[in-house]
Amino acid sequence: MDSETISTIIPAISALAGVFLAQAGAMIHKSFDRNAQRASLRREKLEELADQAFQTMAWGDHLINSLPTVPPRRASVEKDPQPAQLSAQARRVYVLSLLYFPELQCESRRLMKASNNLHLLSADAKDIDVEKMQAAAIEFGAALKALDSLISQAAKKIT
């Protein structure tokens, strides 16, 4: 090869290397941005999951305290003449765990089943089996406590 060809090839190779490095840098930057967006989304969804779990707890407290055969834990809670609604928050907790937090799926499912069981047992407020209701309330509380512990662990991992 003559010197003119070499002098043309060297700048071309330098230009291609520069383009390659620029593209590689952009891809790495985009990867970091994507990871940061994922972490931000997980953080938001974990906050939503924790809020829904808290609302599920409030739902359970209201349900248990509104039943005529179960003594209220708080004097300020009034009896609700309306039939209890199924906890949509418990389902939302489970869906969020399915989509974003596989490590919470087991306890989320347990919470949803416990809330469904509470609802089924309270559906006929005139004929409530107090022992079954107390056992369901205990399971509901245990499921909430276990899920809350896992949510705390997941929050520590995210931050």
Would you say 96 and 49 are in contact if contact means Cβ atoms under 8 Å apart?
Answer: yes
Instruction: Kindly report, residue by residue over 10-38, the tens digit of the pLDDT.
Output: 888 888 888 888 888 888 888 888 888 98
Identify the three-state secondary structure at position 72: coil
Closest CA to 100 of 45, 40, 156: 45
Class in CATH terms, 41-158: mainly alpha
Rg (CA), the chain: 28
Where do the structural domains in the chain lie, given as residue ranges?
41-158
pTM of this structure: 0.70
Instruction: Kindly report, residue by residue over 33-90, the tens digit of the pLDDT.
Output: 888 898 899 999 999 999 999 999 999 998 888 776 554 443 333 444 454 577 889 9
